[in-house]
Structure 1
Amino acid sequence: MNRQSITAAAALLLLPLAVPGSLAHAATDDRSGPSVTRIITLDSAPAAQRSSPKERAAARHAVDDSQRELVDAAGHAGIPLTVHRHYRNVVNGLVVKVPAAQAGRLTALHGVASVSKPVVYEAPEKPTPVSADVLKKAVAQAGGTARSRADAPSGREVVTTTDLTGVPQAHRQGYTGKGVTVGIVDSGIAYDHPALGGGGFPNSKVLGGYDFADEDADPYDDQYGPAAGHGTHVAGIVAGDDEHIVGAAPDATLRSYRVFGTKNAATDDIIIAALDRAASDGVNVVNMSLGAKGERSSNVLSLAVDNLVASGTPTVVSVGNGYAGPFNAAAPAVANGAIAVGSTYSNRYPYLAFALDDGSTTPVPYQDSGRAPAAPATGSSPITPMASSCDPLPAGSLAGRIALIAPVTDPAESFNCRPLDLARTAEAAGAVGAIYHEPRTDPDTIPVSPCCGTTGIPLVAIRESDAKRILAAPAGIKLTWGAYAGSPLNADAAGLMDQSSSWGPGNELEFKPDIAAPGGYILSAMPKALNWYGVNSGTSMAAPHIAGVIALLLQAHPGLTPDQVRTTLQNTATPLAMTGDHKRGLQPVAQQGAGRVDAMAALASVSGGRPTATPSKLALGDLEGRQRIRRVTVHNPTDQAVTYRVGQSAAVSAAPPYTSSWQPVDTAGDARVHGVDRLTVAAHGSGTVTVHIEQPDRVPQGTLFGGWVEFTPVDAASPEIRVPYLGMAGDFDAVSAINPTFSAVNTTLDNPALRPGYFSFGRSVPITVDLTDASTANDEAWVMLSHGYPLLERMRLQVLDARGRVVATPYDASWVSRNSGAGTGMGFYSWDASLADGTPAPAGTYRLRFVFDKALADPQKAPGTETWTSPEVTLVR
């Protein structure tokens, strides 16, 4: 299918925008049954799409009128509803409660653009608290390392913004974000933090905001929920400034829009409410370190982002931490207007650590498991090795102790006694914490987060070499929390793309992410109840770095539009070498976007009026063996003509499967960009080149390829300009819907597989559902499936009788994203032996069939529909 730019061809998913206002409507008769929440958007434009304040004020009145008309129309149609929210600025819409039986009638009302259910956005991971003493050690060590250069930043700059993007050097030139206000849509901000104003609310740093999670005027950071401290940590990266840390834009001001509270998640109606308020408040930049996988770029939150950007507010969104290969970008990062940010490693790991009382001054670095409470910042406890068994221990046998655990080695027991099971066993025996080590790994590498579930005591992972040190010590050796063990990264990781950073493109081949920034192991602010400071990693930390850099650009040039901001960032970004093998080539564009931000180059571009190239990125779609022709224009605002050599640099390509098992393909000699090889642009003029981009030869269908069209000045006094491109070789529709990685990793399992029960793994075999045998629970047929196609327009599980007729459809869903995860993600789907009308299916022979309809498939090309049919299911009654 020929996909260069795909627009939504289906019902728009809508999200509610919560904006306090005077439009309140009394509920009509609501006695028609249980109510559901729906988000309604209207055809007429929101106020943010107007250019002048006067026009926006008039547009708000028009929005109010259109919403009153809708409520009146619902009343006349006999649809009882209660309006809970009105959105005026970034979406013209309402959030309503309506009887479930009546909800389907809303779409027929005059002026309705779409109706949707709220979408849940899970709370981001909270940072790990660190003590001020640990932070001082980190700052001292980082500062000592940095003093090797005359213009080196201080240690406090390095631990928060790193020394990779030129931000500290920008501060020395006077660019600090002064006069720019950044809106933080997150878990709130601890405005009493010394780095964030240090007083009440509002203060000189945090000018205002609102708590949409709890619906009150105080947006102080959540201290108890799953996202506790996240917003404060993000705010510190943007604009924090105290004796320990300094953010990217330390003189910028902030507004706090709290959307994550003590609950486990936020719904998009709350998030859109925050954006609507941000538009009304007139913030200059918005940061959103949040996201949900599997959403489309046409959903209502993405629509709200696009409208906010169209109103003149650059909006920065983290792309996600998927660690799952291509096509894993979150919404609303996939919104066309969003600046989607990926994460790079820092140039050093600021490991938290503990000290041992074995006479050595060398601390033991650790990583929190992410599946348990964070390790304490202070305190001491004895360590006791624990047998690799989940058999219950005597009550109190580990009271007050830290258990040292290792995984079970017996394959027969390893599934039922996993590392988290061992930690829970230790917890039941009174342990106050657990340390995990893996004897079978590299002795100098901290193992990955153990599986599975959660535990109520801190669980950290350490290197095997350090575990041996503990095991060799006398019994009762004690650890003391609160140490620090920073260490530099090697050349295959330092400053390069973090493997956990989610890949693009969007599910419909949108160019994502746009750019990358440091996000690995960033030290920043936390609420007082969480020790004032903490460490966290991921795209949540990379996005505020970009938001801060944008504040620097807007200080230098307040009139920049969002498009000009994106163009500047992408034109001046630094392409990154391949993570894990930096000599092989450049990391795929599908993960790094334009590359790592270069604050100094971007500032030089806007403050010095340097040339730029538009569009700043080229989304090519699937090429199907053909070439794409694109026009790129170089704009020269200077007083001198500039001549460029036009060329390209190709990145390493990524062949399917779309999991963490993606296959790198060296295609630098195959992906061809050609057209003119030289361009002269007159002073205060522009010049356009037509480039022809061909897909690489001899690569599998669905291979993602990319690179940069490069404009290299003949005169070295002018800067190089780069425009990244991203496309797919072959036909998107030819990519298999079924994930091949699952069976490649699990060689004894089939995918899909007909199985006799839930969570039953094995080969796909005929089964019998015997409803006459009351001694078994075998009353359903189950199919295990790992599907890897980025976006299915529709997915069904059908039941076929012996004659091949469809007699039931137990699963039928629209717009389904892949469940393959990093490679072995899967789900179970069942048939309960009923027919389509709910009556019992007669005894006999049946088969189950999956039908995968690929998103916006082209029936003239590769098959848009794939099917899989199971072995026989014998139903006995």
Structure 2
Amino acid sequence: GNTGVLDLHEQGILGEGVTVAIVDTGIDYTHPSLGGGLGPAFKVVGGTDIVGDNYQGTNFFPDPDPYDCGGHGTHVAGIVAGEDKNFYGGTGEDALIQAFVQAYEDGADVINASIGGPGGFPEDAWATASSRIVQQGVFVAISAGNSGDRGLFYASSGSTGVDVMSVASIANEEFFAFNTEAVAGDDAKRDIAYLQSGVEGFKLAGPVPVYVTSLDKFASSDACTALPEDTPDLSKYLVVVRRGGCQFNIKEKNLVDKNATYIWFYNTPKTPIVYPNIEESVSKGFALIAAQDGEFIVERFANGGNATVNFPQELQGIGVNNTLTGGKMSPFTSWGPSFEAQIKSEIGAPGGYIYSTIPLKQGSYAVFSGTSMASPYIAGVAALYMSKYGGRKKLGYTGVLELKNRMIASGTLVNWNDGTKTDLTRLAPVAQQGAGYVNALKALTYTTTLSPGKLELNDTENTKPEHTITIRNSGNQEVTYTFTHEAAGTVNTFKRGSKVPQLFPPTFVNDSATLQFLPQNMTIPAHSNGTFKVIFTPPKNLKTTLLPVYSGKVVITSSEETLSIPYQGIHGNLRDVNIWQTEQFPFLASYRTGEEIREPARVTLSGDDLLTAVFSNNFGTPEVRWDVVTEGYDPNKFVYPPVVGEKGFVGSVRTLEERVDFPIRYEPRHDPLGMGFSWFNWGGGLVNGSRIANGKYRFVFMALRVAGDRSKVEDWDTVVTEVVTIASGP
């Protein structure tokens, strides 16, 4: 895509002298495209394994060798720093924090982490640590996450850090494929490219005869059942079969039953192209070709002819235009806003269908998709910038923030695409794409800089309608700038009647903010600053209960340059959004039977006669409490923070597993497509180290609403249980 990176390479800006740290699964430093070695003389100058090859998620087994056992890290590294004739690349939180600190101490100018989980609060430990490292002059890029199907307010953990650059994925404008030539019996010829997910290419050379499983180019379930008895031995053929009607693996098995070795699936019209995936493949190779290419071959056979395909002696890599989704948002990109109304993601880069390095043992190259692939692209752009303007020592915190602002200002909003078709009448929301498609050439060469980089209008009760923008003209001529408004899509967080944010794709609302500029244009002398005001009027015709999110851009245009600042606002109040559907969750259950306790109960808190609390958060919450209180406790008299022995407060719970102490802070919403809840077991321990005495108690579950005031009982969702009698031992 036209991100401007190749233009910078042609100008000799290649990122030399900048150290990029990649926090990931390691790197295959023996890969020729990554320099072929490890040490000061090589492209990969060093590294370490913080968790070790036997890491299972808890104990660390560190070793000094950063070799990649997984493959993910090598693919990410290839995007930052790989070189090849076919491409020019541009865990546990404690482990991640340790890795970031190590990278900082080792002198990194740029840190990339293509990892994360549900988050949404900038106070998250890893998000906080990452922001502190940015304050030391290091540029930090973290992938926005691949949970786009979960809907709005599902920002990823580390990328929510205030100064971290959160990166969204845009589908590559080309698919990496291999070229061949089909020759029909009537001498008609056609170049046909095939897409193979492993990208090692078919081990074929010269002419190979074709066998088609159906003469009907509209066959709806070609090869979805066993092939006819009279099917010949297919081992010498390239078998061409139509996509659809059943999974690729079913077609493959039916073909291999007749000794097929190499298979081309041809696409159906208007279906997005994919790299076909078969978990445990039983053929020697399978790939996808375009619908019209498959139809060209089938028509020859239908008319009584035949065809062969010439495979070149050496594999020929080729780009195939991605017409359906190229240059549009990848639907898997996680959506913001954060629970503190931040714009997250902030910038988009190519992340869908990216060809890059993998460990030599796994095949050398592969095509992966994910925000994991987009984030290192942005890290690479940061390295180009620092190679021109200086690294962390020279730039410092203010310089890195300017770099971040310049990248955001370079972005272009892209049209909405739901993964199958593009809507040319509306732009994808800022909550999905941030500032949109990065342009490295603008970020490095434009003489105009803007501050702030983004405008976060917050929710209705905390709204900030008026913003002042500073323009710096660092060029040698005076420049006249004009200001315009570009509206992006407005989407509802909730569907009517639902308490859980709706799944992808969201419902659009045809309404947007109106903007007033004071003044509407201005002329700024060379090497000078100017300021103008933007006054926002939120959209009028929106239902606050559905929590619509509106967005767009302030566009600043001169005769030479166009830059922009994304904005985003929330219509409705975050403080009004319930965390729990209290008639269902949370609840107390018997550890032994798993059954809910909805009436007075008796437990001994010994053996397996324990208590379990089950939570399901429909929205993020700054604090979740599980407290033990007296039988006559009045929840309306809650005082924060509660004091043991006062107003019926006995103590907060310490759980059995890994001794989690309540309250728990900055909890994300639960995964609506995953387990959807979490549970904790209790054996009588309290946070102050004591054990609960025998007696009659109730338990209180509380969740603070986003933007809520801890001292106001009405800002908490509260559930009080029935009386539980604790009678342990004789």
TM range (shorter): 0.5 to 0.7
Assess if the C-alpha contact under 8 Å between 1:341 and 1:513 holds in 2: yes
Structure 2 unaligned blocks of 5 or more: 53-60, 205-212, 214-221, 227-240, 303-314, 495-500, 603-608, 636-647, 656-661, 725-730
- CA separation of 1:188/1:799 partners in 2, compared to 1, >3 Å: closer, same or farther? same
Please name the residue that 2:557 is paired with: 712
**Aligned partners of 2:196, 2:7: CA distance in 1, in Å?**
32
Contact 2:450 2:472 in 1 (8 A): yes
**Cα distance change on mapping 1:755 and 1:835 into 2, 3 Å:** closer
Residue 455 of structure 2 is matched in structure 1 by: 618
Which residue identity is paired with 1:789? F
Tell me the alpha carbon deviations over residues 234-266 of structure 1, each in whole angstroms, 9 at most, x when there is no partner: 111111113333122xxxxxxxxxxxxxxxxx4
Q: Map 1:747-766 to 2 at 5 A.
A: none
> For residues 646 and 527 of structure 1, do their structure 2 counterparts lie closer, same or farther at Cα, with a shift above 3 Å needed?
same
Q: Give the deviation of 1:563 after TM superposition.
A: 1.1
Secondary structure at 1:210 match in 2: coil
Counterpart secondary structure, 1:516: strand
Distance of 2:319 and 2:536 partners within structure 1? 44
**In structure 2, C-alpha distance between the alignment counterparts of 1:464 and 1:786, rounded to whole Å:** 45
Aligned AA (2:551): G
1:273 and 2:110 aligned: no
Which residue in 1 is equivalent to 2:88? Answer: 246
* Cα pair distance change 1:445/1:796, threshold 3 Å: farther
1: distance between equivalents of 2:563 and 2:503?
31
Q: Structure 1 674/339 Cα, relative in aligned 2: closer, same or farther at 3 Å?
A: same
Q: CA deviation at 1:464?
A: 14
One of 415, 418, 441 as aligned partner of 1:600: 441
- How many residue pairs get aligned? The number is 607
Q: Which amino acid in the other structure matches residue 791 of structure 1? A: T
Give the alignment of 1:633-652 within 5 angstroms: 633-652=470-489
1:601 partner SS: helix
Alignment CA distance shift 1:574-1:756 (3 Å) = same
Distance 1:362 1:641 in 2: 53
Q: Counterpart of 2:426 in structure 1: which amino acid?
A: G
Equivalent position amino acid for 2:325 in 1: A
Q: 2:128–2:161: 8 Å Cα contact kept in structure 1?
A: yes
AA in 1 matched with 2:535: H
Contact 1:593 1:724 (C-alpha < 8 Å) held by counterparts: yes
Match of 1:504 among 329, 336, 340: 336
Aligned counterparts of 1:540 and 1:354: Cα–Cα separation in 2: 31
Give, in angstroms, the shift of residue 859 of structure 1.
Answer: 7.6
1:164-203 equivalences under 5 Å are 164-203=2-41
Structure 1 residue 795: deviation in Å?
Answer: 5.4
Letter in 2 for 1:826: G
Counterpart check, 1:572 vs 2:435? no
**1:253 corresponding residue in structure 2:** none
The correspondence of residues 31-42 of structure 1 with structure 2, limited to 5 A, is none
**SS of residue matched to 1:633:** strand
What is the aligned counterpart of 2:350 among 496, 499, 518?
Answer: 518
For the pair 1:333 / 2:159, whether they are aligned, the reply is yes
> Is the contact between residue 626 and residue 699 of structure 2 (CA under 8 Å) also seen in structure 1?
no
Which residue in 2 is equivalent to 1:857?
708
Q: How does 1:114-153 map to 2 (within 5 A)?
A: none
Q: CA RMSD in A?
A: 5.6
User: Residue 618 of structure 2 aligns to which amino acid in structure 1?
Assistant: G
Aligned partners of 1:246, 1:375: CA distance in 2, in Å? Answer: 16
CA distance 1:872–1:705, change in 2 (3 Å): farther
Q: Which amino acid in 2 is paired with 1:787? A: N
TM-fit CA distance, 1:231: 1.3
Which residue does 1:306 correspond to in 2? 131
Mapped to 1, the partners of 2:681 and 2:110 lie a distance apart of 50
Instruction: Report how far residue 171 of structure 1 moved.
Output: 1.5
2:236 aligns with none
AA in 2 matched with 1:191: Y
CA distance in 2, matches of 1:646, 1:511: 21
Q: Confirm or deny: 8 A CA contact 1:186 1:289 kept in the other structure.
A: yes
Distance 1:284 1:852, change over 3 A: closer
Contact 2:600 / 2:722 at 8 angstroms: preserved in 1? Answer: no
Q: Does 1:582 align with 2:423?
A: yes
* Equivalence map 1:386-401=2 (5 Å): none
State how far apart, in whole Å, the 2-side matches of 1:849 and 1:422 are.
Answer: 53
The CA deviation at 1:333 is 1.0
How far apart, in 1, do the equivalents of 2:270 and 2:335 lie?
Answer: 30
SS at 2:45's partner residue? strand
Paired residue type of 1:205? K
Match of 2:658 in 1: none
Contact between 1:653 and 1:704, CA under 8 Å: does it hold in 2?
yes
- Compared with structure 1, are the counterparts of its residues 310 and 756 closer, same or farther at alpha carbon in structure 2 (3 Å cutoff)? closer
Which residue of 2 is the match for residue 791 of structure 1? Answer: 621
Q: How does 1:419-818 map to 2 (within 5 A)?
A: 444=271, 487-490=320-323, 493-558=325-390, 559-560=394-395, 561-579=399-417, 580-605=421-446, 610-624=447-461, 627-657=464-494, 658-661=501-504, 663-667=506-510, 669-701=512-544, 702-713=547-558, 716-717=559-560, 719-738=561-580, 787-794=617-624, 814=664, 815-818=666-669
The one-letter code sitting in structure 2 at the alignment partner of 1:705 is Y
Distance 1:819 1:526, change over 3 A: same
2:275–2:288: 8 Å Cα contact kept in structure 1? no
Q: Is the 8 A contact 1:625 1:695 kept in 2?
A: no
**Displacement of 1:336:** 1.3
Q: 1:827 aligns with which of 657, 677, 685?
A: 677
Is contact 1:626–1:694 with CA below 8 Å preserved after alignment? no
SS of alignment partner, residue 48 of structure 2: strand
Alpha carbons 2:119, 2:160 under 8 Å: kept: no
CA-CA distance at 1:810 after TM superposition:
11
Instruction: State the one-letter code of the partner of 1:523.
Output: Y
Following TM superposition, by how much is the alpha carbon of 1:207 offset from its aligned partner in structure 2, in angstroms? 1.6
**SS in structure 1 at match of 2:704:** strand
Preserved CA contact (<8 Å) 2:598 2:721: no
CA distance in 2: counterparts of 1:239 and 1:833, whole angstroms: 53
- 1:813 shift after superposition: 5.3
Counterpart amino acid of 2:573?
D
